Amino acid sequence: MIGKKMQDAMNEQIKQELGSSYLYLSMAAYFQSSGLDGMARWMRAQTQEELVHAMKLFDHIEDRGGKVKLLALTQPTTEWASPLTAFQAAWKHEQFISSRIDNLVELAAEEKDHPAGILLQWFVTEQVEEEASVSKVVQLLERVGDSGNGLIMLDRELGARVFTPPTTADAAAQ
Ligand code: OFO
């Protein structure tokens, strides 16, 4: 059975993950309306990944006899000054999420909540990947600068990203 403190903290984190999903969907809309369909596709894939993160926490609470409580989401930003600004905001957001995961790991240790600790290790690893993938795009955009052709090529490259839903093996490894 999950403890009340961890349950509340995970419910808050479900909100953060859904908030991430909402933010990236807003970025997808921004890119799409800017004619950058590849970046929009990249953000759509990211939106789906965030839903997977939220559902991992959702299932963990449910599996341990807790109660999922969905909290209100704040409206995400809808406009950015440039693709670089949008990806920089995404990178900053991922760093914020990593700090929240670190807090949850510490709470699991304090509460001696080993099942939560094991689940959260997955999130720790995932956050390293999340930060790395967004920061790589930031670096590429910085290098492209004002080159229109460079932006078009990068957009094409980012558009190759496809969302891969978790497999049953992934679920079993949780
Ligand atoms: Fe982007 O990792 Fe979840 O929020």
Kindly report the CATH number assigned to the domain that includes residue 146.
Answer: 1.20.1260.10
CB atoms closer than 10 angstroms to residue 90: 24
Residue 145: closest CA among 68, 91, 53, 82: 82
Predicted confidence at residue 156, as pLDDT, reads 97
Residue 173 domain-assigned (yes or no): no
Cα-to-centroid distance, 148 and ligand 1 (Å) = 30
Question: Which residue positions in the chain have pLDDT lower than 70?
Answer: 168-174
Residue 170 domain-assigned (yes or no): no
Residue 88 domain-assigned (yes or no): yes
- For 81-124, the DSSP string reads SSHHHHHHHHHHHHHHHHHHHHHHHHHHHHTT-HHHHHHHHHHH
Predicted confidence at residue 50, as pLDDT, reads 98
Indicate whether residue 20 lines ligand 1 (CB < 6 A).
Answer: yes
Total domains, the chain? 1
Residue 174 domain-assigned (yes or no): no
Identity at 145, one-letter amino acid code: G
User: Buried b vs exposed e over 10-40: b needs ≥16 C-beta within 10 Å?
Assistant: bbebbbbbbbbbbbbbbbbbbbeebebebbb
Locate 173 and state its tokens.
């490894």
Predicted confidence at residue 170, as pLDDT, reads 65
Indicate whether residue 43 lines ligand 1 (CB < 6 A).
Answer: no
- Domain limits at 54? 4-165
Question: Which atom from ligand 1 is nearest to the alpha carbon of 50?
Answer: 3
Predicted confidence at residue 118, as pLDDT, reads 98
Helix ranges restricted to H, 34-82:
37-63
Predicted confidence at residue 171, as pLDDT, reads 58
Predicted confidence at residue 172, as pLDDT, reads 54
Mutate to test the pocket of ligand 1, among 24, 25, 50 (most ligand atoms within 8 A of CB): 50
